[in-house]
Structure 1
Amino acid sequence: MDVATNRKQKTLIMVLLCMGWIVNTFDRIAINIAVIPISKEFGLTETQVGLVISSFFLSYAIMQPIGGSLADRFGSRRVIMFSLVAWSLLTILTGVAWSFLSLIAFRFLFGIGEGSYPSASQVSLAETFPKQERARAKSLLLASTKIGGVIGTFVIASMISFSGWKFMFVILGFLGLILAVIYWKYFNPTGKLDVTKKTTNKKISLKEAFKIPLLWQLTVIYFGISIVSWGAAAWMPSYMVKVRNLDMISMGALSSIPSILGLISMLFSGWILDKYMVGREKYLIVFGSLIGIISMYFFIHAPSIAFVVIYGSFINMGVALALTTTLTMPLKYIHSSSIGTATGMVYLGGQLAGVIAPTLMGFMIQKFNGSYDAGFWFLIGALVVSFLVGMTVKNQTIISNEQTAEVSTNVE
């Protein structure tokens, strides 16, 4: 039956989730910009910078399936509240880091705190929206991360320029705690899960999720896409400053252009997925990956800042198209009672990419005497993986029943 929530409550839940994702994005990308002054203050090499960034993703990845399973079991509200408070406190602590090792420790704990939010927010969508609206709802959440990137890069760069990186982290942490108070008062998804009276549905375990081929395909696809997302997020600010000779504020302003176009691509993806691409989602994954591959090749050889922005914009649009489709498919084809567990598995692939990409790219940059070309070719290779696996996806609906997860060839 349809999700029992009215339009007003849907809007409230969506607004709060988007606010959470924006703050989440602020806190997550802050380190990518702050490492520029941090590396100077602590004397860090490119490899050490990569380790600082990747330490977050290691714990963040571990928490994805755990957070999803907890949200399936206890509901999204409790898990989200814990995550929001924990990551806000750890953001404040990042601002008092005094060494390379303290940064590693705080970022690792920060990943534990923030890691449950993505999967739990997926459960909130299932608790609030019917299947035919979930692609658009998910695209709005993903768009909010782009908004966070657009605003955050410029605001964070400006805050660091005027007040230093330590003060910036403290302010962001307190912003998260204020949002937690708002969540405590207003965030309460009360919709019933999308179940039928004819079938008693059992939540699938993480072990059962690992047996579903479609989830493995989506996990690998998301891994490849996320290599690009996290690799670019970690090293693009440094590339723009060190290679393209931009100051911090100019870098933040120009970086917002590809993010804005990626945001538009995400919103378009959600609309077209709900309206026209039911059962044909894989073609958007393939098309988006192909756009990213071609654009990344031209980006490497961009002759000027203008072309860097143009090709970077096409990369963002292609990746956004593939990413939105990949993360929407569990919402449409996994039974609502098991969305947290299933999406936790898919998110795990993406966050493992976050562990690998920043450190490996940092190592490549250091090995090639400051050249970023090898790192960008690595990103192309990752998109090729997503493209090839996307070609193998079949149109499937995953249904949780009394025994386990079954796969049928009919799309609901």
Structure 2
Amino acid sequence: MSTPSLKLFLGKAKKAISTLPSSSPLTFVVGNESADLDSLCSALLYAYFRTNTPPYTLHIPLSNLPKADLTLRPELSAVCRSAGLSTSDLITLSDLPRDSQTGKILLKAEETRWLLVDHNVLTGPLTHFSKQVIGCVDHHEDENAVPQNCSPRVFAKCGSCMSLIIDQCKDVWSSLDSKDNETNASLAAVAMAPILIDTTNLTSKDKTTDWDLKAAEFVQSKISDSTQIQIQRSEDGSGAGPFDRKGYYDHLTKLKDDIDSLSYRDILRKDYKRWSDGGLSLGISTVVQGFDYVLGLKGDDEGKGKFLEALKGWAEEQELDIAAVMTVSKPDGVFTRELLVWGLNKKAVKVLKQFVKENGEDLDLNKWKGGELDESEGTDWRVCWRQNNIKHSRKQVAPMLREAMKESSRL
């Protein structure tokens, strides 16, 4: 079977949306709303391989973010260039048909089917389609929202969801024409990127699992036998060379960690997730630099005030009861996590204090700079810590916070 290119596949998928109504339900594959590299790439490749699996039903890869937010992800642009794509080829929330006045998505739920990757509960503007979920491949905790009779229904702990996608689709990939080096290189560029990023180039002892090692080995096998396969790593597309795993990882990491040109609002929304539980709304932004670095972006004297003002504004914009920021950085080569939480009303404050009581010891929380970012005023409560238990990322901290929210609703 001849291997279709990713670019042609995306063009066909985009056309299917633009020619609605359709005679049969549209099938979407979508990642989570933080729209990180793992979610975006997993949705793209899983949709591609499912489309090329009997009965060859078109699966539309939906990037779970507005088109304007693509500019916040230069690492994605680099992956796209390596795959012979542009970010303009991707299908985003902005491409879905909407009411011109209300902005409401016009797709009828019953006219769609949804496969979830890298999450297992639809959120935000896609919540409306929750009853149309037909399958899930995820490496997060199972929240039991995906029906047990769905197929696939895959949950496994690993560094990158892409590793599970490769396990699910390696036979399909192998059945495609292996002589098409250009397409294999494109697929490999998309597949390898999130695996490397999410496992620190397969070196993280806390994140890397056998799933990730086997997936990376399989993807590597698709490119190692051909010197014709090129992975572009430079910003302008020049300087392409044979695939260099470390070079690819280093290039993507440098782009991902560069937030110097972003506003504080953009920093907070670049990698952001929102949940509602127990009658409260929680939003967590993950930032790829520590608070010292972030506050210093706008000047040592003004950075603190401007950052906190931006965070309060973002919380109001998102209608949050609890706003949280998690940082991950390597100052002086030491992997570091920090956590800031901000309860914006009396009930939210109660939840956060319960969260600290139940999880503070496990997270090994120590006040950040003696409480420099802390404040208790009126019904607000804000506190920032250095999180010494670095094993717990947002993947673990978010469920802790959400459980505290659920407990408050039962009291």
Question: Higher helix proportion, which one?
Answer: 1
The TM-score normalised by the length of structure 1 is: 0.24
The TM-score normalised by the length of structure 2 is: 0.24
Which structure's CA Rg is the greater one?
2
Question: Higher strand proportion, which one?
Answer: 2
Higher relative contact order (CA 8 A, sep 6+): 1
